[in-house]
Amino acid sequence: MSNHDNLRIGILGASGYTGGELIRLLSRHPKTYIGAVSAEKHAGKSVAEIFPQFRHLNLPILQKIDDFQWDSLDLVFCALPHGMTQELVTRLPKHIKIIDLSADFRLRQPSLYQHWYGHPHRAIDLQAQAIYGLSEVYRREIARATLVACPGCYPTAAQLALIPLLKDGLIETTPIMIDAKSGISGAGRELKQNSLFCETIEGIHAYGVNGHRHIPEIEQGLSDAAGKPVSISFIPHLVPMSRGILETIYVRLALDVTTTDIRECWLKIYKNSHFIDILLVGSSPETRHVRGTNRCAMSVLNNPIPGYATILVTIDNLVKGASGQAIQNMNIMMGYQENLGLEHIALFP
């Protein structure tokens, strides 16, 4: 298939970590052609000047978004900061499919968005059309979508583990406690004091302890699954590694439910899900075993407290938690094989 026959892709915000991951993954996708890339501060530069690892690829020059030739594109990935995508998508031609990696269309209630992101939602009509892009849960809806809101990295891991259990009534809706840890790339590529080498190396610290923006997103998905409101306790931590997420989740089991029942539920729900790895009861998934991949590994352990269980789930925050899941959603939208272009093996050691 020639480039002219492939799906013509635009990447907005190509100079950030998620933009770089989109380029890395799409450059080996057999049915896509990267036709345009944007980076407002680096317009006019080659992609290789920003990401030298791509110097051997034939990629377009970075542009400002206003200079894009939209008629030459079929689908756009928006890897822009929160708040920027809402106004932009209202101006795009109707034929372009949109996959947004920001939080702009994740929350269904505009009031919740305003509370957590500090400004009114600027595209409420489009918000009603957006499909939440948790691939394994909303495949049918994604297949018909023209605007997909990709989940956040923490919500992806938490919901993949918990939604099947809540749907089947295997766990109680309270308490649900999520102890989450992420690599530093989750903070983005912009210069910030708290993500400098000397601020992060040889230490680990909690952040967002008084409320993190991903809480309403997780609660939205879990409440849908349970059929009633669900509130969670969620504390994220920053770990001195470049990428990866590990979540330790504490749940109360429903009456007579065992950890074996939980594992069997996952196996049933995810039997046709290529990227979900269900480990044996008592096994512990590790971030290094999914590093650089679109895989999600999960397991359940017996908790010393009777009636409780401990769930462990890990993903790569930049792949399954962002760019990889975005491409998985693209595959679903376009009717491609879901794992096309995403069959990467973990980098180890």
The Cα angle at residue 120 between residues 107 and 112, in degrees rounded to 5? 35
Which residue intervals of the chain are DSSP H helices?
17-26, 47-50, 85-89, 110-117, 124-127, 139-143, 153-167, 197-200, 214-226, 259-269, 324-334
d(Cα 133, Cα 106) in Å, to the nearest integer? 9
d(Cα 127, Cα 124) in Å, to the nearest integer? 5
Q: Which residues are catalytic, by number?
A: 153
Q: Which residue has the tokens 């009456």?
A: 255
Which residue intervals of 178-258 are DSSP H helices?
197-200, 214-226
For residue 298, what is the enclosing H or E element? strand 296-302
* C-beta of residue 219 within 8 angstroms of C-beta of residue 158: no
